[in-house]
A and B are shown apart, each in its own frame.
Chain A
Amino acid sequence: MDKQVELLQGTLEILILKAVSLGPLHGYGILLRIQQISGERLQIPQGSFYIALYRIEHKGWLKGEWGESDNNRRAKFYRLTPAGSRQLKAETEKWSQMTDVVDGILRAKPEQI
Chain B
Amino acid sequence: MSFFANLASWWNALVHRTRVDNDIEAELRFHIDAHTQQLIDSGIPPREAERRSKIEFGRVDVQKEKYRSAIGLQPLQEIGGDLRYGLRSLYRKPGFALVAILSLALGIGSTTAIFSLIYATLLHPFPYDGAD
Please list the residues of chain B having a beta carbon within 8 angstroms of any beta carbon in chain A. Answer: 1-2, 4-6, 8-9, 23, 26-28, 30-31, 33-35, 37, 56-58, 63, 66-67, 69-72
Distance in angstroms between the alpha carbons of A54 and B66 in the assembled complex: 9
Partner of A54, one of B6, B34, B57, B71: B71
In the assembled complex, the CB of B40 is this many whole angstroms from the nearest CB of chain A, namely: 13
CB–CB A69/B6 < 8 A: no
Distance in angstroms between the alpha carbons of A28 and B56 in the assembled complex: 13
CB–CB A60/B56 < 8 A: no
Distance in angstroms between the alpha carbons of A18 and B66 in the assembled complex: 23
- Closest 4 A/B residue pairs (Cβ): A60-B5, A58-B71, A54-B70, A28-B34
A83 within 8 A of partner (CB): yes
Distance in angstroms between the alpha carbons of A26 and B67 in the assembled complex: 17
Partner of B70, one of A31, A46, A58, A76: A58
CB–CB A47/B30 < 8 A: no
Asked whether A58 and B5 contact (CB < 8 A) given A46-B58, A75-B30, the answer is yes
Residue of A nearest to B32 (CB): A28
Partner of A76, one of B23, B66, B71: B23
The DSSP consensus for interface residues of chain B is helix
CB–CB A47/B6 < 8 A: no
Instruction: Please tell me the number of chain A residues within 8 Å of chain B, measured between CB atoms.
Output: 23
Distance in angstroms between the alpha carbons of A3 and B75 in the assembled complex: 40
In the assembled complex, the CB of A23 is this many whole angstroms from the nearest CB of chain B, namely: 17
CB–CB A60/B4 < 8 A: yes
Distance in angstroms between the alpha carbons of A30 and B39 in the assembled complex: 17
Residue of A nearest to B8 (CB): A60
CB–CB A50/B67 < 8 A: yes
In the assembled complex, the CB of A18 is this many whole angstroms from the nearest CB of chain B, namely: 19
Residue of A nearest to B58 (CB): A47
Distance in angstroms between the alpha carbons of A75 and B69 in the assembled complex: 23
